[in-house]
Amino acid sequence: MNILIVGDGKVGSALAEQLSQEDHNVTVIDSDPKVVEESVERLDVMAVVGNGASMATLREAGAETADLLIAATSQDELNLLTCLTAKRLGCSHTIARIRNPEYTDQLVNMGGELGLSLTVNPEQDAALEAYRLLQFPSVLKRESFAKGRVEIVAVPVEPGSRLAGLPLRQLYEIARVKVLVCAVERGGQVHIPSGSFVLQAGDTIFVTAGVQDLAQLVRNLGFVAQKVRSLLIIGGSRIAFYLAARCLDSGISVKIIERDHARCLALAERLPGATVIEADGSRQEVLDAEGILGFDAAITLTGMDEENVVLSMFAQRLGVGKIITKINRLEYDKMFRQMGIGSIISPKALRCANIARYVRAMSTARGSEELLTLHPIAEGQAEALEFQAGPSTRHCGEPLRDIPLKDGILIACITHQGRTLIPRGDASFSPGDTVIVVTAGGRTITALDGIFAD
């Protein structure tokens, strides 16, 4: 597909890299010649220097025949104008990055008039992910599928755990619920395991389970299932606002530490149920004075990755039960995770995943096979994809044991008429079913037929 990306900052650059690797024709538009030159040298993309909202610039970039335009500048209004102009020129689809919560209602009511195919709000997505992690403090990451009925959760295998030394075929003896380990991360490498795979201390396992079985799974695996009743948020960003609002609505008490006076006033006005402290949350004496030890969970949301990591390590050393760390620099993701700083959320990674899902759905060869959900797992070394089988999908009705799959692919779950099934060899899927597939990284799958070896 021909894709235009307006804005070559961190977000635009990450999208350009990912989409060019998936063999799309990508053109980057930015007003800074140096930034554009760097992208051309580093990536296999075309580039145009200019104002992405200008009709002349968009024409030069080929907006009239483009399949998709992604407006990813730091200004919401510029993104909206860019998408509206591109749509008028004939661009088939447009995606806008919109961050301001004040625009939410307007986008719902006016999205069609603005010519928007999709809007992405990375801060809101990050807040939702953090909130879901607070519901199950023992897990490192949660991904939702099948309209919320199925989850893939990341669980650490700690030294002394009952899981260490256990072959996966014996997992049911401990879990006592129907689950499937669809991926194992070990020493920086991801494995799509068979039943003979033996778990080791230090592994992170990605477990597929029905959402109704998740709480029991956590208990049976021996993890502490303490409920989060109080949350300390360090940094008063947009993510802090979205997360605090959700937590307050669910009965979790919230304290926010923010150093900027004007931002504190805005948060206090919009979140009357939260305690907002104007102070430097990076200072130990401030954290001690605000009682960090008394909180069930803490999340670091400052604007600096390094500061967030250090604060999370401090909170972990103090024994705070659940810690969530926000990072933006994806190139350091693996290093940060190896530091043992609890769960990590990345607004940029969430944004890229949402857009990649949309692009792959557009690329699907047949409308009968639809890519519904896409989540990178294990630091992007694997992907979990949810497809809907269509009338022409091959191997419908055949036992899974008889279906030849490509190497490094596993069918993790099937949903049939609202019922979720963790599949065995005699299971099958039918047209209309949703099928969750886990695949090792390095390949792009746009349709369910793409997983079959024949």
Q: Are residues 169 and 196 in the same domain?
A: yes
Q: Which domain range does residue 175 map to?
A: 141-220
Report the number of distinct structural domains present in the chain.
4
Other Cβ atoms within 10 Å of 427 Cβ, number: 15
Cα–Cα distance measured from residue 117 to residue 358, given in angstroms and rounded to the nearest whole number: 10
Place of tokens 């483009």: 66
CATH number of the domain at 313, please.
3.40.50.720
Q: Note whether residue 269 is domain-resident.
A: yes
Q: Are residues 110 and 52 in the same domain?
A: yes
Q: Note whether residue 129 is domain-resident.
A: no
Q: Are residues 211 and 240 in the same domain?
A: no
Task: Write down the pLDDT at residue 178.
Answer: 87
Q: Note whether residue 152 is domain-resident.
A: yes
Task: Write down the pLDDT at residue 191.
Answer: 92
Q: Are residues 116 and 9 in the same domain?
A: yes
Task: Write down the pLDDT at residue 160.
Answer: 86
Q: Are residues 182 and 282 in the same domain?
A: no
Q: Note whether residue 325 is domain-resident.
A: no
Q: Note whether residue 411 is domain-resident.
A: yes
Divide the 454 residues of the chain into consecutive groups of 10 and give the mean pLDDT of each group: 90 86 92 89 92 95 95 92 94 90 74 79 92 90 87 89 91 88 90 92 91 83 79 96 97 97 97 97 95 96 92 92 87 64 85 83 59 81 90 94 93 91 92 93 83 92
Last residue of some domain: 190, 220, 250? 220
Q: Note whether residue 131 is domain-resident.
A: no
Last residue of some domain: 180, 200, 220? 220
Q: Are residues 254 and 286 in the same domain?
A: yes
Q: Are residues 203 and 237 in the same domain?
A: no
Last residue of some domain: 157, 186, 220? 220
Q: Note whether residue 132 is domain-resident.
A: no
CATH number of the domain at 192, please.
3.30.70.1450
Q: Are residues 189 and 273 in the same domain?
A: no
Q: Are residues 41 and 111 in the same domain?
A: yes
